[in-house]
């Protein structure tokens, strides 16, 4: 099962991803649409959604707490990176 989370912008009736998406041409997908300012990064449901993927492809010795601790030290934010890439495209 493939899962991707991408930011997109809605223009003229079309959702346009802000980053490349790995899909085959004409592949059907299921979407959950949430406003960007409505996304809660600490949402416990998100962790439950990824448990099957983690069990299949993840390292069982790495905990969510460890990932959060390490990524909290990264400078900047993903949102800033996406905004910067969007500006570079224009």
The model carries a pTM of 0.39
**Do residues 53 and 1 make contact, with C-beta atoms less than 8 angstroms apart?**
yes
Euclidean distance between CA atoms 6 and 4, whole angstroms: 6
Taking the CA of residue 73 as centre, how many other CA atoms within 13 Å lie in the half-sphere pointing to its CB?
5
Question: In whole angstroms, how large is the CA radius of gyration of the chain?
Answer: 15
Q: How does residue 1 score in pLDDT terms, banded at 50, 70 and 90?
A: low
Q: How does residue 57 score in pLDDT terms, banded at 50, 70 and 90?
A: confident
pLDDT, position 52: 76
Q: How does residue 45 score in pLDDT terms, banded at 50, 70 and 90?
A: low
CA distance readout (Å), 10 to 5, 18, 65, 74, 86 = 16, 10, 34, 29, 14
- Rounded to a whole number, what is the distance in angstroms from the first to the last CA of the chain? 34
**Cross-strand bridge partners of residue 16:** 9
């Amino acid at each position: 099962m493939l899962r991707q989370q991408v930011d997109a912008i809605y223009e003229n009736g079309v959702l346009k991803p802000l980053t490349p998406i790995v899909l085959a041409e004409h592949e059907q997908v299921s979407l959950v649409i949430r406003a960007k300012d409505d996304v809660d990064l600490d949402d416990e449901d998100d962790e439950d959604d990824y448990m099957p993927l983690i069990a299949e492809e993840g390292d069982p010795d790495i905990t969510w707490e460890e990932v959060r601790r390490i990524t909290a030290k990264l400078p900047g934010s993903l949102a800033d990176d996406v905004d910067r890439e969007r500006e570079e495209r224009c």
